[in-house]
Structure 1
Amino acid sequence: MNMFRAVVFFLAYFGHATSACPALCKCYSRRSEVVCNEVPLTEFPSVGLPENTTTLTIQFTNITSISEEDLKAIPKLKELHLFSNHLKNLSSHLLRGVPHLTTLDLTGNKLRHLPADVFSHAPLQILVLKNNLIEKAEASWLPDNSNLTWLDVSGNRLTNVPADFLKKIPHLENLDLSHNHLEKLSAGSLDPLTKLDRLNLRNNKLENLNASLLHSTRNLTYLFLSRNKLSRVPQNIFQELTQLKHLSLDDNQLSSIPSGLLNHLNALEDEGLDLTANPWMCDGKIEYLFGWLQKNQKKAFLPETIICSGPQSLKSRSVMSLKETDKVECADVSTMTSFPVDGLPPDTTVLSIWSTQISSIEASHLNAVPFLNRLQLYANKLDKLPSNLLQNASRLNSLDLTGNELGHLPPGVFNQKSLRNLVLKNNHIEQADAGWFADNNSLIWLDLSGNRLSDIPTALLQKLKHLEHLDLSDNNLQDLQPDALKNLHHLDILNLARNKLTTLPPTAFSHNPNLLRLFLQENLLRELPPSLFSGLQRLQMLLLNQNRLQHIPEGLLDGRNSSFQLILATNPWLCDGKIQYLWRWLNEHTQNVFYLEEVTCNRPEELKDRQVVSLTESELGLVR
């Protein structure tokens, strides 16, 4: 009898659970979840939905509308995910029948106009309207004093956000308005958002910001203003943001920032301020930024890539490399054709000659300045150097030859033990020669970026055993020899960006345990060896963006510390079963990835442009 009752109970309970499921969908009774994924649905699957459903996912279907009546069949619903369908219409009072709904995701549909009260009646906390066609945000969508803490309206066609709309969401903690057409935000519009923690205004058309715009958002910790058209920023706009950890102002039209702008940002994390890709004018107005960077270099993201756009004599110079105390300076002297030996003070320690017509220099020229410590010959017409150039410059520590016309350099040209910093950036050098340096050299910084190198000789690098910074970016390097970096045990920054590297040997970095920053972006890398980074326990930053990576091997990113930062954007990721390792790592380390939203699937077609981190287990084939 007991056995009979057990069988009856089993059939009554489990038989009902398995049979009550819409055609073409999958029901998971244990977690009260229904998934309708990539199926030929044209209407909302009301028939057969288990009444106790708490999570419903419908994605990649041909459904064009959803109504209040459709949702009445599942009154216990808490999460509704309607990703990448063809929704054009939502009914007014849509959520009246789902009083427990807290999450609604409508990403990637064709919504343009939404009716009044469409998001009323439910205690919504998370609302995602990303990647639709919405041109105007309406206050009438929402109830007064909405419970929303997360609102994502990115990837639409908004030109402004009405203050009365924002007034209805006083509990908001995350607001994403990125990838729209916003031209301005009115003064006071953000004042109701006193709990706001994260504000994303990236990739809009903002040309200026009201000085008081952020004065009430004192709890902000993340602020994204990159890829706008900002040409100026009000001096006191950030003065209340004492908790701000990350601020991105990159890729705007900033030529300077006002004095004091960054003084109140005491909570900025290391590398928390991004000012790259702006047309900085390195005149008197750059003084505040220069001073701030000198004191707060660790707070800036890639500070060495904050570059002068003008004047012409300083174009392409890093702001960080500017000097306050150059003692002798010959700049923009277009009539100067020979080295200015006559009249040089014999006690000169720093000599800078920029943007002249000088085409040659001799060792004898430096006899006039026996105490010379730093020599900068930037953007002249130098096309050759003598092999004995530095024979009498026994105190020379730094030599900068950026932006000349140097091609072939003779052996012994840099054979001076005192030399520690050498910059040969933006010349015409096609071949680097180990003969340039003595075996007992003291070089710690070598910049060969912006030349025409197709390889870097192992013999040259083996001589540079004290090297800490090596920049080979913007060349034509096609491969890296397995033992090329073997002797560089002190190396902490290696820049191989913007070359033509297609592969890297598994042992490429095996002998560089002190490496902190590794730049591999904008190459042609298709795959990476699983053990490539295994010995780099101190690595803090890795850039792999804009390559041709489709997958990364299992374990590649394991063992990274909590401060590790990674950029993987703009690779053609193939989102099949092999993407599983990357997907899991991204979900577990979202705080470590810059531009996470740009790590998107390239294939298969049905997942194209989806964020890898947003994929579901069923889409990856992990649910059987």
Structure 2
Amino acid sequence: MRVLLALLLLLLLRSAEPRRRQRSGAGEEAARGRVRGRGRAGVNRRQTTQCKEYEEAGEKYLDCQDRQLTTVMQDWPTDIHHLLLARNKIQILRDNMFSQFTQLKSLDLQQNHISLVEERAFSGLSQLNTLLLQHNSLKSASEEVLLPLPRLTYLRIYDNPWHCHCSLDSLIRTIQVPSNRNLGNYAKCAEPLSMKGQKLKNINVDTLCVDSRPGGDRQGGGGGQRPPPIRPKMDATSMCYTYMLPRPHLDCSNKDLKSIPTDLPSDIVKMDLSRNTIKHLRPKQFLLSKDLKQLNLSNNSLQKIETAAFAGLLYLREMDLSNNSLQYFQYGVLEDLYFLRKLSLEHNPWVCDYSIHYLVYWLKHHPGVSYSGLVCSYPPEFRGWRVEDYVKTYNGECPKDKQTNLEIGPGVPGGENEAQEVVGETEGQGELPQPIQEKPNTIEIIRLN
């Protein structure tokens, strides 16, 4: 009996074992799936926040632009010198948010959604000299936020809706100190209406707290009418994006511009004005951009460039004029470009007639300039020709049947015999004419190039 019970028990145990293994295998597979899921999620998260780290001129950069970031990550390297956080979704700069980056020299926070900067947000950044906060949603800030930055030299805060009230008093007084000439340039008031469009650098600070005083905004106690608001001028700083790293760059591309913006920053090295509808370049519009080295005017509707349009661009090295409506250059247009090295001229309807000669002449006398795209579009007989080849045919040999008959002197073959025949005819006449004083042969055939 005992043996029978033992056999039955053994059979029951064997029949239950596969089910346990099946359940165990399913559990392991599910666990592996969960692990794989977590791994995939972790990879995606890292790809979303992964930044590009590189080194240039011995300084370390961390490029975290366009990463949908809302804050600073704790696993970022702390020995970087330049942190690029433009075009993210940061809304508030919290206290000690950047304190671990003690070697930081520049911080780019433009084109976020920043509306609040806490007083100790920049604590620990004693080496910082460049802070970019333009194109955000800041309305107010105090001088306290700048106190941890003893070496701050460049502060960009324009294109923010600044409320020029009493809360902004200390910040405006700081940026108006004469020694702080690069702090807060181009920033303007958005409110109140009486100050709208005025630069923070120029407003009268003593009027900021008038509204908070009893009856302070009244003229003569009678509640006078507010002055009309100043209409803001659309300049480069309010319409375009300015990047300071790795070199100053003004991006005005695809802004539906019909002319060159006013108040171009003077320290810009690269300027992109492509994909607009600019038709006409007038004299001295780039006069203040003395450091400009690259200028992109491609994909506009350029038809005319006046002489002195590029005045002041002494150090310009590259210029892109492709995809426009240019037919020729007026005489003298390129005379200010002493250091130009690259000129892009593709996809313009160049007209091959005498007007095109100035451009070819200038390029011939500046062999260090690399250019491309100089192809005839008109007239039809020269369409597709290189402009240089057209100019060669213009200066080619004149066919003999088209040459003008000139009087030939004795120095030319056949001239001496003809002169003797003339003398012989006069000898047979009664009275000889008075001797003609011999004149030097001044006839010279000149080939016009």
Under TM normalisation by the shorter chain, which class is it? Answer: 0.3 to 0.5
Question: Computing the radius of gyration over CA atoms, which structure comes out larger, 1 or 2?
Answer: 2
Larger RCO, structure (CA 8 Å, separation 6 or more): 2
How does the TM-score come out when normalised to structure 1?
0.35
How does the TM-score come out when normalised to structure 2?
0.46
